[in-house]
Structure 1
Amino acid sequence: MKAILLGDAMIPGEGFGKAWEKHLSKYGSDVIVGNWESDWGQLQYRRLEVEKRGPEIETVDETILKEGKDADALMGLFVPVSSKVMDAMPNLRIVGVSRAGLENVNVEEATKRGILVFNVKGRNAHAVSDFAVGMMLAAARNIAKAHYAIQNGEWRKTFVNSNCIPEMHDKTIGLVGFGYIGKLVAKKLSGFDVNIVVYDPYTSDEVIEAAGAKKVELDELMSTSDFVSIHARLTDKNKNMIGERELGLMKPTAYFINTGRAGLVDQDALANALKEQKIMGAALDVFTTEPIPADSPFLKLDNVTLTTHIAGTTTEALTNSPYLLMADVAKFLNGEQADFIVNKEVLENEDFKAWLAKVRG
């Protein structure tokens, strides 16, 4: 196999190269290592645009144009894998991204062409679930606001929610989405003695109940929860699933937490709900434009806690993910059960089967 490994400012190509050497070197030593985007600021802008508009908006990386004609595999983190990339890599058979999101991969086109796609589900699940719980506490207990006040010479004791600052005990937490992250949030909150309700049409009642939670419809979750926390993956079907009507169902004492995707929420509706104090507060780590624009209405509100899209950014989540990806690809090539295959229908593709037989020897 020949492989192209393109990291970026978040996980440099060197990390992917070391992971290949550890797990996949027996399948090929012709490995091209580089970086798709090495500038941190540009990476944040470009990856967000790809997440909003898809990989086809990007041009083909120079390394791919130069080295891709005879390469079998392409792996990275945010590198866009578009139909144009596939055109430049006619022998491509495996694509791997060391993240749960697939916004930077044209999976439909890959499937048509007999290209097997891998992602890494749950790579930052502990990181994001930790952060989500922290955001609940920060929003309700004014932790960030008090810190900011002290740094600016103010010993602040009163806040928007001063008349009803809650304890977590016996509160109802609504989780929208119950994948790897949602399940961990539920587990980590269990020590607070809370009631957990879940909206996830793709997860069974049995799985949710086994986690000590209750499955409900979205309207019931929004109207009964003291904290609503977003953990669903963004698709064309669920874009802006939380809008003015859904936010209007929330208790005036409730908090809205989003460490998932900004596109799941109507941002204008959320800003208005906070401005008019229809809900008590919010904590947001994701925005439709990043960095957040200077004219964002959220910057003018005193009942919102804002962070810079850092929920999933821990040392472990970043450095381990290329190894998780390569290890799973190695399991597949070794004939073992792989966990992270996205488009299993490719396994029936005749061209892919012929390639796989050749690689396995």
Structure 2
Amino acid sequence: MKILITELIWEEGIKELTDQGFEIEYDETLWSKREKLLEIIPRFDAVIVRNQTKVDHDLLNSGINLKAVGRLGVGLDNIDLKIAKEKNIKVVYAKHANATSVAEYVITAMLNVQRPLHLAELDVREGNWNRKKFTCGELYQKTIGLVGLGEISHRVSKRAKAFGMNVIGYDPFVTEYDHILSETGVEIKSLLNEVLSKSDFVSLHVPLTPQTYSLIGQNELKLMKPTSYIINTARGGIIDENALAEALNHNMISGAFLDVLEVEPLDLGHPLLECNNAFITPHIAGLTNESQIRTSSLVAKEIIKVLSGKVSLCIV
């Protein structure tokens, strides 16, 4: 059987597949060569992608031999799940494989606010010794508000509590006996507005859907404390970026850490690049060597199961 890989994968994943005798065609830039992708996809039994490849109606219809799609990550907004289901094409994803990395990114962002050691070090190298300037704050007793209470929020919560933070959250799909409330101890709020208004840090952990698109807009940003920060490691589009730029420019909030944007890579004329208090990273929250070994290996194993007629626990 033949498997096409259209985006970056760690060698551990390729080894899993080749050790089982699968024929691999790998081009990490193929996602950007749409015509070629549509031309060759009929030859393959499975395709493995990240977030750039559009696994849409045209691709799924062209893939006449496709039995499985593997997603090297957890976001699924680039895959037409409805068409895949209609065509009986199984979609597997890297369930929880990068959750720890994303959680650590969130903690790093908050520590970057409270103790900006890199700035203090640069200041010393410029000949200064400004102790007062770098007398900052603690995470202890600060409040983090989690929007969406899935696996990543669970791991963020555990780490935040280790710092002595207060953890509150909002998720209309979570009940009082779900583990993130009953075991992790997140204080649930019935309204998103409560989380926004009470938090020193707001961290977003929801999928991109029609319901969550522009979930955080001008009205929501106005509810936040002027000293607060918002962190988005989920998906671009969840925050209205123009509204956020305006809020940052007018000091309605203190800052934003954005690992995802509605259009990636970021256009150099984007208004957020004019904001000194917008800290933008290139979609790397889930990218650590450890997480990518887990992700690549897990997706490869689950694709093997599907193509071998076995049960996968990572099917969407």
Secondary structure at 2:2's aligned position in 1? strand
| Structure 1 counterpart of 2:157 | 186
Q: Structure 1 residue 59 and structure 2 residue 34: aligned?
A: yes
Aligned-partner residue type, residue 141 of structure 1: R
1:21 aligned residue: 18
Partner of residue 75 from structure 1, selected from 45, 48, 65: 48
Residue 37 of structure 1: CA displacement? 0.7
Counterpart CA distance in 1 for 2:184 and 2:309 is 32
TM-score, normalising length: structure 2: 0.86
The equivalent position to 2:107 in structure 1, one of 133, 138, 144, is 133
Aligned length: 312
- CA distance in 1 between counterparts of 2:214 and 2:228 reads 20
**Equivalent residue letter for 2:34:** T
Map of 2:72 onto structure 1: 98
Structure-2 change in CA distance of 1:82 and 1:300 (3 Å): closer
Using the TM superposition, give the Cα deviation of residue 76 of structure 1 relative to its aligned residue in structure 2, in angstroms. Answer: 3.4
Letter in 1 for 2:9: I
Q: Is the 8 A contact 1:198 1:213 kept in 2?
A: yes
What displacement does 1:17 show? Answer: 2.9
Q: Secondary structure at the match of 1:293?
A: coil
Of 231, 255, 269, the match for 1:257: 231
Computed over aligned residues only, the root mean square deviation of the Cα atoms, in angstroms, reads: 2.8
Distance 1:326 1:115 in 2: 16
Whole-angstrom distance in 2 between the partners of 1:254 and 1:277: 10
**Cα offsets for 1:323-352 (capped at 9, x unmatched):** 10132344556776532111xxxxxxxxxx
Give the 5 Å matches for 1:288-303. 288-303=262-277
Identity across matched positions, percent: 33
- Tell me the distance in 1 between the aligned counterparts of 2:13 and 2:235: 26
One-letter amino acid of the structure 2 residue matched with residue 183 of structure 1? H
Report the Cα distance in structure 1 between the residues aligned to 2:205 and 2:211, rounded to whole angstroms. Answer: 15
How far apart are 1:238 and its partner, in Å? 0.7
Structure 1: gaps of 5 or more residues: 47-57, 343-361
| 143 and 275 in structure 1: CA distance in 2 versus 1, 3 angstrom threshold | farther
SS at match of 2:154: helix
| Closer, same or farther: CA 339–61 of 1 in aligned 2, 3 Å | farther
In structure 1, how many angstroms separate the alpha carbons of the residues matched to 2:61 and 2:132? 60
Pick one of 103, 116, 135 that aligns with 1:142. Answer: 116
The alpha-carbon distance between structure 1 residues 155 and 303, as it changes in their structure 2 partners (threshold 3 A), is farther
Q: Residue by residue, what CA displacement relative to the aligned partner does 1:70-114 show, whole Å, maximum 9, x if unpaired?
A: x43222334432222223222322222221111232211111112
Secondary structure of the 2:158 match is helix
Instruction: Out of 223-232 and 278-287, give the one that drifted further.
Output: 278-287
CA distance in 1, matches of 2:273, 2:225: 23
Secondary structure of 2:230's aligned partner:
strand
2:4 matched to which residue of 1?
Answer: 5
CA–CA separation in structure 1 for the residues paired with 2:89 and 2:234: 28
Q: For structure 1, which segment, 108-117 or 319-328, has the greater mean C-alpha deviation from structure 2 after superposition?
A: 319-328
Code of the residue aligned with 2:219 in structure 1: it is: R
User: Higher helix share goes to which structure?
Assistant: 1
Deviations 1:186-219 (A, max 9, x none): 1111111111111112222222322110111201
* Deviation at residue 156 of structure 1 after TM alignment: 6.5
TM-score, with length taken from structure 1: 0.76
Residues 27-57 of structure 1, C-alpha deviation per residue, up to 9 Å, x if partnerless?
xx4523221516xxxx7xx5xxxxxxxxxxx
Q: Is the 8 A contact 1:117 1:341 kept in 2?
A: yes
Confirm or deny: 8 A CA contact 1:144 1:305 kept in the other structure. no
* 1:230 and 1:258 in contact (8 A); partners too: yes
Alpha-carbon distance between aligned partners in 1 of 2:299 and 2:215, rounded to the nearest angstrom: 31
Residue type at the aligned position of 2:79: V
Residue 316 of structure 1: aligned partner: 290
Q: Secondary structure at the match of 1:295?
A: coil
Q: 1:326 to 1:174 in 2, by over 3 A?
A: same
Aligned partner letter, 2:152: I
* Maintained 8 Å contact 1:238/1:264: yes
Q: CA deviation at 1:246?
A: 0.9
Quickly say closer, same or farther: Cα 1:84–1:305, change in 2 above 3 A. Answer: closer
Change in Cα spacing, 1:149 to 1:273, as seen in structure 2 (3 Å) is farther
1:17 and 1:102, CA in 2 relative to 1: closer, same or farther beyond 3 A? same
CA distance 1:158–1:106, change in 2 (3 Å): farther
Deviation at 1:262, TM superposition (A): 2.5
The residue aligned with 2:252 is: 278
